[in-house]
Structure 1
Amino acid sequence: MSTYDTGNTAVRRTSRRTESPTENGSIRPHDNHTNTSDITLRKEDMERMKAELIRHIQSDLNELLERALSDSMQSLYRNTRTKPDQTHTQDRHKPGQGKVFVARCSLLDELFEISHIRTIYHMFIAALFLFTISTLAVDYIDQGKMFLDFDLFYYAFGQLGTVVWAWTLMFAYTLLGPYYILSVWASLHHSCGWRTCVSAVAVLTLCAAQTSMLGIFPVYTVLHYQLPPASRFIIILEQIRFVMKSYSFIRETTPAVLTSTPQKGESPHYPSLSSYLYFLFCPTLIYREVYPRNPYIRWNYVGVNFMKILASLFYLYFILVRLCIPVFRNKSNQPFSTRTLILAVFHAAFPGMLMLMLGFYGFLHCWLNAFAEMLRFADRMFYNDWWNSTSFANYYRTWNIVVHDWLYYYSYKDFLWLTGQKLRSVATLLVFAVSALVHEYAFTLGFGFFYPVMFCTFAGIGVVFNFAMNDKRKSPVCNIIMWTCLFIGQGVHVSLYCLEWYAQIQCPRSGTSFWELVTPRSWTCNYQ
């Protein structure tokens, strides 16, 4: 207020000095109306600045308060689960302790509030428009008509009816099968004297049901009906998701049943079917009976995210049609050689990186956030700032937190608990082996041929980079190296799979022997 009063005093003094005498010696005021307008404008500017300052301060305070509450809740959770005679290390690796869910937004949603980051997002949208215009222009020049031909979409997502009924059967089993098998086992475990026999029968029944419905049935559906690539990936990826979801439910529920001591005449505590149903759709692979929930649903946010998913699919279509298919269709007419491979890798580096970014943004951000919003799921940390990683160890942890949590708690930590907190390097190798096998399984069934590119990059190069570029690397140069390796790695994936795809078309298999199935056709196919 002192500044404002000083300003008014200055204005009054200026007003007095600007009074000038007339010809007859009288004093004439100099534009009092203008001075009043200037004061009014200055007051409005100050009020606007004050409101803006208050808004920024409130935003910063809310962010600090949210971080403090998140840290305190995690600390409180750890402290409440720690017994007085246990060390911190023992509590950290205790099998009953797991992930703590906290209400928080996705990182990109926060970053898009910054105009500079939002401009980069707008540049990608402009590139999509450029792809669309260039496709229309080329079609008009070559064929004399302007239209977008989506035959690739129609082919890739063919036989959707088969996909729907197969998915429905897998979902129905995942919902009812493990739940009721464990429910019967839980009720008999505390009321029957033959606990070992009951547990053995439950384990055998559950293993047989899981193998039949989530193991054999999806593979049979993909191979028997000869589904196209996108439809294959839907079935296989949903198969993997249901296996991981059901395992998490079994893994979290079984210890609770074993450690519970119900009173005589009481039934042991068992999760409700509605909580398990919610878990099957919410964007996490770690089962909890209760999750932090938002108070309401922003349906406009849901709609915008689904529109972004559709735009990402169109973006992927244009990348394949404009940057990949014409090039690799021509390269398939050339004999496989080192020169062909090197040229293909460097040509596919940029399209491959765009595919990686689209997969990250379309699925890990838009798809998961859309379902999280519809289910009011409050913990939106599906990824972290992996793009700032200076080590591949940090990149693997922050790229896909949803899958990383499952691997960390159910593979890495459980293995350490079984081995008495020993063999940490072996536990890390186990995680990489599981991830490599699952990726290779998905790509083999998705494309319809065996070409162990994913397995070699994950189990071989990925392990080397994880130990060589560890968390001790903090230099910005390491971030450049990481991005360079990502570009080259994506180029290797796209080029090798595209070359093998066209080799499988031009040189189909002549037999069904083992070596015929596992030998890549691009190595031996004579294109001439």
Structure 2
Amino acid sequence: MSSHDSSAVRRSGGRTAGGNQRPSENGSIRQHDNHTNMRERTQREEDMQRMKAAVIRYVQTQVNEALERALTDSMQSLSTNTQTHTDETGTNNRHKLEQGKVFIARCSLLDELFEISHIRTIYHMFIAALFLFVMSTLAVDYIDHGRLVLDFDLFYYAFGQLNTVIWAWMLMFGYTLLGPYHVLRVWGGLYHSSRWRTCVSAGSALVLCAAQMSMLGIFPVYVILHYQLPPASRFIIILEQIRFLMKSYSFIRETTPAVLKHTPQKDESLRYPSLSSYLYFLFCPTLIYREVYPRNPYIRWNYVGMNCLKILASLFYLYFILVRLCIPVFRNKSNQPFSTRTLILALFHAAFPGMLIFMLGFYAFLHCWLNTFAEILRFADRMFYKDWWNSTSFSNYYRTWNIVVHDWLYYYGYRDFLWLSGSKLRSVATLSVFGVSALVHEYAFTMGFGFFYPVMFCTFAGIGVVFNFAMNDKRKSPVWNIIMWTCLFIGQGIHVCLYCLEWYAQIHCPRTGTSFWELVTPRSWTCS
């Protein structure tokens, strides 16, 4: 073989070897591409499944709400069209007003929205702001005091005397569970077996009113004033007092008509609600009593744990807002004489932290806290709020901001008032609901802070009523949503500003007497 042929063979062999390597490299590349495509395809399928589930839940929620609105509107229109009839009309209207809330298995709106990545990003922004508060507090403490340890003295002070709070709550809970239940049970048995029904009813009502006034009226106030509880402990007692009163009233209101309508026959006893159903009602996140609620099949304990962590994080968020944005500003403002300039500057300083506190209160309580108890108790109706942030009117905002309390006020305040007045005086019924809400809010803040400053009453009974009628459901333009949010910012700023100024005024200028005018006159007006 010549040298030319051998070189040709080597070149041919080199090409053959190279040709054997290239297919293997191309095969590995194709295999890698196939794996990448499979992962992308799997990811797309998972995204599609999540989007499908979110869309189904959203459509189901919208359909349920549409059906509920349609039924309500049809009932109202039917009631309006039949007002010309006399006896039959009165019976039909009374029957419609007796129909109560219907519970449906549905999720909370934020749980559905947080499955959307764009909405979840806003949630992540709030978490980043919390980290920023922590880092800024650590930096200030290190620069001013040379330490890197967070100081939570404000927490220890606000939640002091928790042992007193616990035993007081146990007494209130024990009475709420056993007191109204057994009084109504005894009254129901005597009502149908005695000839003196009026005397039995009057005596039972007096006993129940006296017991309610003693254990859920005077006792919580006595504990707060006698033991001089700090603010957070005071609010726990007061809010539980209000909750127990509303729960027990709902139980009495829903049970009494059933006892009155009962017609005893031979070998038939009065069917009374079980104690277990009433015990479940005292803990489930609703203020409307029913013997049976829609229930979920199982408990998601990871969901419960995450909500507990979110509640704890919200408390720390609130702490850092007070420490970084409120206390330094209003501690200095309290040393200045009261003037219009001081008030306006303090108001604008308080608008942003006030709105943050408002949002935290909504998220921590109406979403995390209520969903935690609902999940533990497998309570399926999670509509504790609606999309109040999209409201273009204050009337819609009041209806959707807190569904739990709104239902109680609507069914036991507004509708019962209409039932008593024969479906007349709707404006008076609305004003009465606003008045009750304003009084309860003012009572809670007065007892919680330890001083009387009727800011909450004026904003509810005054500004709130005006906005409810002025910014009504006829306002549909997005501009009204901007106006609503602006009013919310200003309103929360007024609350934080005035209550903080009065808090420090009470410290710097304590009261020297116990006369009526000194007790009701804000110290921030005269303290210098």
TM norm structure 2: 0.88
Residues 229, 38 of structure 1: alpha-carbon distance in 2 compared, 3 angstrom cutoff: closer
Partner of 1:497: 499
User: Is this contact kept in 2: 1:308–1:362, CA < 8 A?
Assistant: yes
Please state if 1:278 is matched with 2:280.
yes
Residue in structure 2 matching 1:425, options 424, 427, 433: 427
1: CA distance, partners of 2:37 / 2:422? 70
Deviations 1:318-375 (A, max 9, x none): 1111111111111111111111111110000000000000000010000000000000
Distance 1:470 1:337 in 2: 35
Say yes or no: does 1:346 pair with 2:348.
yes
Residue number among 365, 376, 381 corresponding to 2:378 in the alignment: 376
**Partner AA of 1:377 in structure 2:** F
Report what 1:192 is aligned to.
194
The 1:59–1:447 alpha-carbon spacing in structure 2 relative to 1, beyond 3 Å, is closer
- Distance in 2 (alpha carbons) for counterparts of 1:352 and 1:150: 21
Give the CA deviation at 1:265: 3.1
Alpha-carbon offset, residue 283 of structure 1: 0.4
SS in 2 for 1:94: helix
Mean Cα displacement is larger for which, 30-39 or 112-121?
Answer: 30-39
1:286 CA drift (Å):
0.4
Could you tell me how far apart the structure 2 residues matched to 1:398 and 1:89 are?
31
Q: What displacement does 1:71 show?
A: 6.3
Residue identity matched to 2:481 = N
Residues 199, 409 of structure 1: alpha-carbon distance in 2 compared, 3 angstrom cutoff: same
Alpha-carbon shift at residue 67 of structure 1 (Å): 5.3
SS, match of residue 154 in structure 2: helix
Counterpart contact for 2:239–2:444, Cα < 8 Å: yes
Q: Which one-letter code corresponds to 2:127 in the other structure?
A: I
Task: Tell me how far 1:205 sits from its aligned partner.
Answer: 0.5
Q: Does residue 309 of structure 1 match 2:311?
A: yes
Q: Does 1:436 align with 2:438?
A: yes
Superimposed CA distance per residue, residues 82-135 of structure 1 (whole angstroms, 9 cap, x where no aligned partner): 999977994587343111100001000000000011010001001111101111
Equivalent in the alignment of 2:208 = 206
What runs of 5+ residues in structure 2 fail to find an aligned partner?
1-18
Code of the aligned partner of 2:163: G
| Post-superposition CA distance 1:426-462 (Å, at most 9, x none) | 0000010000000000000100000000000000000
Once the two structures are superposed, the pairs formed by residues 193-342 of structure 1 within 5 Å of their partners are 193-342=195-344
1:360 corresponds to which of 354, 357, 362: 362
**Inter-CA distance 59–334: structure 2 relative to 1 (3 Å threshold):** closer
Distance in 2 between residues matched to 1:339 and 1:75, nearest whole Å: 51
Given the alignment of the two structures, is residue 523 of structure 1 paired with residue 525 of structure 2, yes or no?
yes
- Any conservation in 1 of the 2:54–2:112 contact (CA below 8 Å)? no
CA distance, structure 2, for counterparts of residue 158 and residue 405 of structure 1: 34
SS at match of 1:322: helix
Q: SS at 2:384's partner residue? A: coil
Question: Does 2:145 correspond to 1:143?
Answer: yes
Structure 2 distance, partners of 1:62, 1:357, is: 25
The answer to whether the 8 Å contact 1:503/1:522 transfers is yes
User: Does the CA contact (< 8 Å) of 1:393 and 1:471 recur in 2?
Assistant: yes
With 33-42 and 496-505 compared, the bigger mean Cα shift is at: 33-42
In structure 1, distance between residues paired with 2:103 and 2:49: 31
1:177 deviation in Å? 0.2
Change in Cα spacing, 1:456 to 1:48, as seen in structure 2 (3 Å) is closer
**How much has 1:264 moved relative to structure 2?**
2.1
Whether the 8 Å contact between 2:94 and 2:419 is mirrored in structure 1 is: no
Task: Give the deviation of 1:260 after TM superposition.
Answer: 1.6
Q: Closer, same or farther in 2 for the Cα pair 1:240/1:62, shift >3 Å? A: closer
1:402 paired residue among 401, 404, 428: 404
Contact (CA 8 Å) 1:157, 1:231: kept in 2 or not?
A: yes
Q: CA shift at 1:55, angstroms?
A: 6.2
State the distance in 1 between where 2:473 and 2:73 align: 25
Which residue of 2 is the match for residue 169 of structure 1? 171
Task: State yes or no: 1:482 paired with 2:491.
Answer: no
- Supply the distance in 2 between the matched residues of 1:93 and 1:458 (Cα, whole angstroms): 32
CA distance in 2, matches of 1:60, 1:77: 25
Structure 1 residues 52 and 339: alpha-carbon distance in aligned structure 2, compared to 1, 3 A threshold = closer
Structure 1 residue ranges without an equivalent (≥5): 1-27
- In the alignment of these two chains, the number of paired residues is 498
Give the aligned partner of residue 413 of structure 2. 411
| Alpha-carbon distance between aligned partners in 2 of 1:425 and 1:139, rounded to the nearest angstrom | 55
Structure 2 SS opposite 1:517: helix
Instruction: Quote the Cα distance in structure 1 between the aligned partners of 2:425 and 2:52.
Output: 49
- Alpha carbons 1:275, 1:289 under 8 Å: kept: yes
Given that 1:93 and 1:413 are in contact with CA atoms closer than 8 Å, whether structure 2 keeps it comes out as no
Question: RMSD between aligned alpha carbons?
Answer: 2.8
Assess if the C-alpha contact under 8 Å between 1:233 and 1:442 holds in 2. yes
SS, match of residue 102 in structure 1: coil
Counterparts of 2:417 and 2:510, CA distance in 1? 43
Q: Is the 8 A contact 1:93 1:416 kept in 2?
A: no
Identity %: 77
Name the residue aligned to 1:506.
508
Return the offset for 1:217.
0.5
C-alpha distance in 2 between matches for 1:91 and 1:458: 30
Q: Secondary structure at the match of 1:262?
A: coil
Q: CA deviation at 1:280?
A: 0.3
Letter paired with 2:293: Y
Q: Distance in 1 between matches of 2:157 and 2:60?
A: 51
Partner AA of 1:216 in structure 2: I
Distance (Å, rounded) in 2 between the aligned partners of 1:391 and 1:78: 19
Residue type of the alignment partner of 2:418? L
CA distance change for structure 1 residues 349 and 64 in 2, over 3 Å: closer, same or farther? closer
Change (3 A) 1:135 1:53: closer
Deviation track 1:232-257 (CA, whole Å, cap 9, x = no partner) reads 11101100000000000000000011
> Following the alignment from structure 1 to structure 2, what is the Cα–Cα distance between the partners of residues 46 and 154?
53
Asked if structure 2 preserves the Cα contact closer than 8 Å seen for 1:349 and 1:492, the reply is yes
Would the aligned equivalents of 1:391 and 1:479 in 2 still touch at CA under 8 Å?
A: yes
Alpha-carbon distance change, 120 to 50 in structure 1, aligned in 2, over 3 angstroms: closer
Match of 1:470 in 2: 472
Cα distance in 2, alignment partners of residues 342 and 76 from structure 1: 48
CA shift, 1:63, in A, is 4.8
CA distance, structure 2, for counterparts of residue 509 and residue 362 of structure 1: 35
1:66-215 to 2 correspondences below 5 Å: 68=63, 90-91=92-93, 94-215=96-217
Task: Tell me by how many angstroms 1:190 deviates.
Answer: 1.1
| CA deviation after TM superposition for structure 1 residue 58, in Å | 5.9
Q: Distance in 2 between matches of 1:123 and 1:88?
A: 55
Distance 1:187 1:79 in 2: 39
8 A contact 1:94–1:417 mirrored in 2: no
Distance 1:92 1:68 in 2: 28
